[in-house]
Each structure stands twice: as C-alpha cells, then as structure tokens.
Amino acid sequence: MSERKSEAEIPPLINDPVELAKKEAENALAQFDWGIEEVERWIAEDQPRLRISMLLDLHRKAMEGIDSYAGNFRPAGVAIKGSGHQPISNNDVPRYVEDMLEYIGENWSERTAIHLSAYVMWRLNWIHPFADGNGRTSRMFSYMVLCGRLRQILPGTKTIPEQISENKQPYYDALEAADQQYKKGRVDVAQMESLLEDYLAKQLVDIHGQATGRNNLTADEATTKHGNVLLDALERRPVLYSSILAVVLAAIGWMIV
C-alpha cells in the first residue's frame, strides 16, 4: 500500500521541500508540547477536556504556517491517496467529531486506555476533518487519550507517535482493517489495539534501557507481527523481568505493595 495522503485542492503555503520539512519538524515539537500540557490539565482537573476547540488547537499547532486552514475544519471534500476510504462530506464533519468526543467521554471509565486510544486513532482518520494534517493530529490526540486515561505522562523517549512515523505501514493496515469492519456495521479496532499494545511495550522497554544504561531487548524482540514475544524475552531474563514489570505496572497506575 502506498503512503496515505490527503488530497484537497488547496495550494500549499510552503513549496520548498527543505523549508517545509523544517517547519513540519518545528510544528511537531510544538504540537507534542502543547498536547502534553493539555493532558497535564486533564490530570490536575481529574477529567478530560474533550472539546472541539481543543482538537482545533491541536491541529493548529501541527499545521500553522503550512496549511491555510490550520485550526479549522476542511471547507470542502477531500480524498485520501493510497486508501479506498472516502471521507464524509465537510458539512457532516462537526457532527461526527462531536459524536467521537461523546464516545470517548461516555466510555472514559468503562473502556481500557488502549481501546480508547485505538478508537481515536481510527475514528479521527475516518472522519478526516482537516484539509491536511489528519494523520499527525490523530496520532497525537490518540497518545493524549492514552496518557490521560492512565492519568500520567508515559515515560520513554521513543513515544508511540514517533514509532508510527518511522514505519507507517502497520498503522495504515490497522486503519484499513477498522474501515472494513465499520462497513459491516461494527466498530472493531482490535488490530489497532494490538498495534498500540506493541508500541507501548517498546516505549516502556526503551525507558528501562535508559534507566539501567543497557539495552537488553531490541525492538524486534519486544514485539512481532505474530504475537507478543516481549513476555517470552523477559522470561529468558528473570532479573530483567522484575525490573520491566515494575515499570509496566507503574505506567498503568497500579500500586505495588
């Protein structure tokens, strides 16, 4: 599958590829910092602030100076190159975004952090509310929901959004799988959930390597397409097992006596 890319008839603000890359990198850092600050507010207030204005601000951080409609919903239809999915009409975007935010709010305590994060990742891409920057906004919002639901900023420098950006094909495959299930009348993001579980494991293994000064597990050992080999690898290293387990439990907010 080729790279998924929004195709809207809106002229770019930056034509030079080098300057565009610099601006995208700068904006990515600004978006991440803003998103983490927002999650910290959710945690302090003991509830998420899931508002359309928040989502528009998140998009603005990513696309300011790049997209004429940064911080605004797309004014027209849009196609996705590399995907068979046809996004909804621009007139329906606000209603579907509201429904998405309501789903998160209504299921905040009942569903797992991984499920809510996976749902956001798929649903925002499915709606495709922006002329450009849908992917980067969905990945950051998904990560915000994961951290917010766990009530902490997850440790590790190899964050889930960064891991996805390094190899987008599994992410694209998970989006397409959820799209196909939705065509059958089901909300099923199981493949995305599995993918995010693997990415989370890698992020936590990364912070363990930083803390101990040694990287005992490679990325390939941590996860695989054909099942989670993280536990197998840990069982082969009993001392490492207890250390990693402590990090994992701390990350999901459990109390160890």
Domain boundaries, the chain: 5-251
Mean pLDDT, residues 14-18: 91
- Amino acid sitting at position 122: W
pLDDT tens-digit profile of 230-256? 444 444 444 444 444 444 545 444 433
Cα gap 217→231, rounded to integer Å:
11
Residue 66, CA distances (Å) to 7, 10, 27, 186 in order: 15, 11, 9, 36
Mean pLDDT, residues 186-206: 96
pTM of model > 0.85: no
Q: Say what angle helices 52-63 and 93-106 make with each other, to 10 degrees.
A: 110
Of residues 193, 177, 17, 156, the one with CA closest to residue 84: 177
DSSP string across 170-187: HHHHHHHHHHHHHHTT--
Mean pLDDT, residues 36-46: 95
For residue 123, give every residue at least 6 positions away whose Cβ sits within 8 Å of its Cβ, in sequence order, or none. Answer: 100, 103
- Tell me the CATH class for 5-251: mainly alpha
pLDDT tens-digit profile of 72-118? 999 998 878 777 788 899 999 999 999 999 999 999 999 999 999 99
Binned at pLDDT 50, 70 and 90, residue 3 comes out as: low
Contact 54, 38 (CB under 8 A): yes
Q: Is the pLDDT of residue 6 over 70?
A: no
Q: Which residue has the higher pLDDT, 13 or 247?
A: 13
Q: Which residue has the higher pLDDT, 3 or 139?
A: 139
Q: Is the pLDDT of residue 63 over 70?
A: yes
Residue-level pLDDT at 207: 83
Residue-level pLDDT at 235: 44
Residue-level pLDDT at 206: 83
